Structure 1
Amino acid sequence: MDENGPDGRPQGTLIVGAGIIGICAAIRLAQRGASVTVVDRTGVCEETSSGNAAAFAFSDVLPLAQKGMIRNLPKWLADPLGPLSIPPSYMPRLAPWLFRFWRAGRAAVYEPALAAQAGLMTLSESEWMALMDASGTRAMLRENGSLELYESDAEFNASLPGWAARERFGIDFRHVEGAELAALQPGLSAQFVKGTFVPGWKTVADPKLLGKALWAHAERLGVRFRQDSVTGVEAGPNGARATMADGTAVAASRLVIATGAWSHRLARQLGDHIPLETERGYNTTLPPGAFDVRRQLIFSGHGFVVTPLETGLRIGGAVELAGLDAPPNYARSKAMLEKAKRFLPGLQADGGREWMGYRPSLPDSLPVIGRASRSASVFYAFGHGHLGLTQAAATARLIADLVSGKPSAIDLSPFSPTRF
């Protein structure tokens, strides 16, 4: 990676971050003949990409500002273990992001964001299916849909504008109740009176296992890995340079920043101030057989999902806006598990593994995909919020198009690093 070509210039592509975005980008670039090295402080698919809810949520096109968060904010904040938590000490630092988030709910911002997200999702689905076929991971895909659940007619009615918006983009769904609801998920608590089934929703057997399998494919394509911490980045006329924790520098002709919730710190060194915040998500993974869950269950009023995995039953979600440095509050995992026991009577809740991950979130719910504002050699691929796994393959395609100078598959202006 730090070798120079015949003209003395640095060669190859360095990707900072070995989560699902970085892995997919490495594969795409290697497929196009690039020499690629991925650097990460812990390993391949070992952090946030390892413990997510395992969904290919291609129908999840609504910006967060339009999914009831603003409406429910006062109620949720009153419950320290509810769907959304903000420690009071963090509120002053968070206030500018919250203001941007509130403004993202305006129709003038919401409609373009919705259209952009829908376009990215369409690309995501086709790119993921092609990547799974090419990497031999298609057997890890589960195509049994999702079931969103409502405890009252009022809660169901509040969801209808969102479903109408999805319908405009051709997303298939149907509302269910009674016997059909019970057939889609036997054993569900009677407190849920209606649901919405989305047949096109997909999950994977286990996100960490998928990431590792994709990495094996990347290695077969010649991608290399370096375990190290990148503490600094700089760009010059002939490429870019990353500084490691021990002070050594690695030069590359192209640099891709895909470090999730930490990405904005590196972007700032290049002059791009991107308002990224960290949604800390929690889950508990129970042993296999804890409950016969037929498909991903979405308890939107409580901010969490239940996903059947090859490796167990994962119960998690919720949002804690508390930055990168506060210690985990696993009481949030326990609170979701207690609710799941009520919602799924008979759930075997012993023997679970608790986990916390960091979702990199931007106020308009769109990721940053594009070039650094001051360098044609540095590319950003971060800020996917809850949708990193879902949008990884499409992001990889878009980054590969940028790096190779090919026309983009979709309009990239809504994802521009300079849009803020």
Structure 2
Amino acid sequence: MGGKTARDAQIIVIGGGIVGIAVAAYLAEAGRDVLVLDRSGICEETSSGNAGALAFPDILPLVHKDMLSQVPRWLADPLGPLSIPPAYMPRLLPWLWRFLRAGRSSNFAAAMAAQASMMRLAEREWSGLMIRSGTADMLREDGALELYESEEEFRAAEEGWAARRRLHIPFRHLEREEIAAYQPGLSECFVRATFMPGWKTVADPQRLGQAVWAYAERNGARFMPATVAAARAEGEGVAVQLSGGRRLLCDRLVVAAGAWSRPFAAAFGDRVPLETERGYNTTLPPDAFEVKRQLIFARHGFVVTPLEGGLRIGGAVEFGGLKRPPNYARSRAMLEKAARFLPGLRTQGGRQWMGYRPSLPDSLPVIDRAWRAPRVLYAFGHGHLGLTQAAATGRLIRDLVLEQSPPIDLRPFRARRFRSHGL
């Protein structure tokens, strides 16, 4: 007698980073049998070393005028905020072309509106998920301070603040004499600043992710350490091939593999222009400097974040793919700048790190069904905003699985938008 093939799980999630475990938490809450696969563990790679920001006011796509105006200066400095190794440039050119097209006014406005809707949802969903998972005590609501070294730099950022004003995102511009009340001990080189009260941080991004995973486990989610070699639709389900030869079957598959997601999407007919931004940081001991809130040095492409385990100084962008060895001189360059901006900063005893951000040209993630396999769902491409948007992504994937109407329009997040929008 024929029968349905036994499943290893109802839903398999490829990726144990913050997005994958948020997806698992929402699906487990909904009573689904969820198995997460990751080669390293829960929040052990990129999600372990991010800046810890819940950057809800960060609605501007990366390709905004102020950023573009700084690109030539950045590229002139091999250790500056943006680096493209010459040998990698030919591979990157198609992505860069799409990135520039994303800056056209119509594309930019649409992407910003979509990002704003995603951020509103992200803030609501993180609030609820933290309460349900018992992690609300890890939230820090101190806001963030963006700093400017000249009036010209401050004016160049005004277009972005005007956009936030139109979307009712609160902020306050500060004069030089007001800055010290928000962060004592800064260099006198800063003439203006902007305080964003809605910008939040977490005590430790890895610990938060692992606590959310513990909540998912309490609701029945499971984890298996494994490297996924391939996946394909098979009958009424999906087959997942592991590198060791084992084969798993599931009813639905969620691809949440961050910077490693592109070949999985291609296998299901979706050619997504996903690139890898390599980010660097150094985490100093907690007593390195008393920082009251996240400090944003936008002109230099890095932030300083006070975490429970130390002071994290990091950011910058290096387009170099997944295979090039780390260039920790970039971490040291940011640390040296931080020492100039925070006189008295103790720079000894730091831990260096590099992670891989999954970046798309229009700064929006892919949250969608696969073109050739509607049982496969995508949840990747969040760039710098994986932690910020993880809970919203979990909610949206859950709605797609349950075939419920999502709370926001998902058309801007489709995998195939790069064909239809001329990107």
> What TM-score does the superposition give when structure 1 sets the normalisation length?
0.98
Write out aligned runs for 1:178-327 (5 A): 178-327=176-325
Aligned match of 1:391 = 389
- Is the Cα contact below 8 Å between 2:176 and 2:193 reproduced in 1? no
> What is the percent sequence identity of the aligned residues?
62
Whole-angstrom distance in 2 between the partners of 1:371 and 1:165? 31
Deviations 1:63-96 (A, max 9, x none): 0001633211111111000000000000000000
- Is the Cα contact below 8 Å between 1:236 and 1:375 reproduced in 2? no
Secondary structure of 1:68's aligned partner:
helix
Secondary structure of 2:362's aligned partner:
coil
Deviation at 1:178, TM superposition (A): 2.7
- Is the Cα contact below 8 Å between 1:67 and 1:162 reproduced in 2? no
Deviation at 1:6, TM superposition (A): 6.5
Deviation at 1:358, TM superposition (A): 0.2
Aligned match of 2:421 = none
- Is the Cα contact below 8 Å between 2:43 and 2:206 reproduced in 1? yes
- Is the Cα contact below 8 Å between 1:45 and 1:212 reproduced in 2? yes
Secondary structure of 2:229's aligned partner:
strand
| Stretch deviating more after TM superposition (230-239 or 44-53) | 230-239
Aligned match of 2:159 = 161
Deviations 1:111-170 (A, max 9, x none): 010000000000000000000000000000000000000000000000000000111111
Deviation at 1:248, TM superposition (A): 1.4
Question: Alignment partner for residue 132 of structure 2, among 118, 131, 134?
Answer: 134
2:106 maps to 1:101: no
Question: Alignment partner for residue 337 of structure 1, among 318, 335, 338?
Answer: 335
Aligned match of 1:55 = 53
Structure 2: tracts of 5 or more residues without a match: 419-423
Aligned match of 2:373 = 375
Deviation at 1:102, TM superposition (A): 0.5
Aligned match of 1:175 = 173
Deviations 1:253-301 (A, max 9, x none): 0000000000011111112110000000000000011101000000000
Whole-angstrom distance in 2 between the partners of 1:69 and 1:184? 25
Secondary structure of 1:253's aligned partner:
strand
Structure 1: tracts of 5 or more residues without a match: none
> What TM-score does the superposition give when structure 2 sets the normalisation length?
0.97
Deviation at 1:9, TM superposition (A): 6.1
Secondary structure of 1:349's aligned partner:
coil
Q: CA RMSD in A?
A: 1.1
Whole-angstrom distance in 2 between the partners of 1:255 and 1:33? 16
Aligned match of 2:108 = 110
- Is the Cα contact below 8 Å between 1:22 and 1:258 reproduced in 2? yes
- Is the Cα contact below 8 Å between 1:260 and 1:360 reproduced in 2? yes
Moved over 6 A (4+): none
- Is the Cα contact below 8 Å between 1:70 and 1:102 reproduced in 2? no
Whole-angstrom distance in 2 between the partners of 1:345 and 1:131? 39
- Is the Cα contact below 8 Å between 1:9 and 1:238 reproduced in 2? no
Deviation at 1:409, TM superposition (A): 1.1
Deviation at 1:179, TM superposition (A): 2.9
- Is the Cα contact below 8 Å between 2:6 and 2:249 reproduced in 1? no
Give aligned pairs, total: 416
Whole-angstrom distance in 1 between the partners of 2:126 and 2:49? 19
Secondary structure of 2:417's aligned partner:
coil
Deviations 1:350-409 (A, max 9, x none): 000000000000000000001000011100000000000000000000000001111111
Secondary structure of 2:286's aligned partner:
coil
Secondary structure of 1:356's aligned partner:
strand
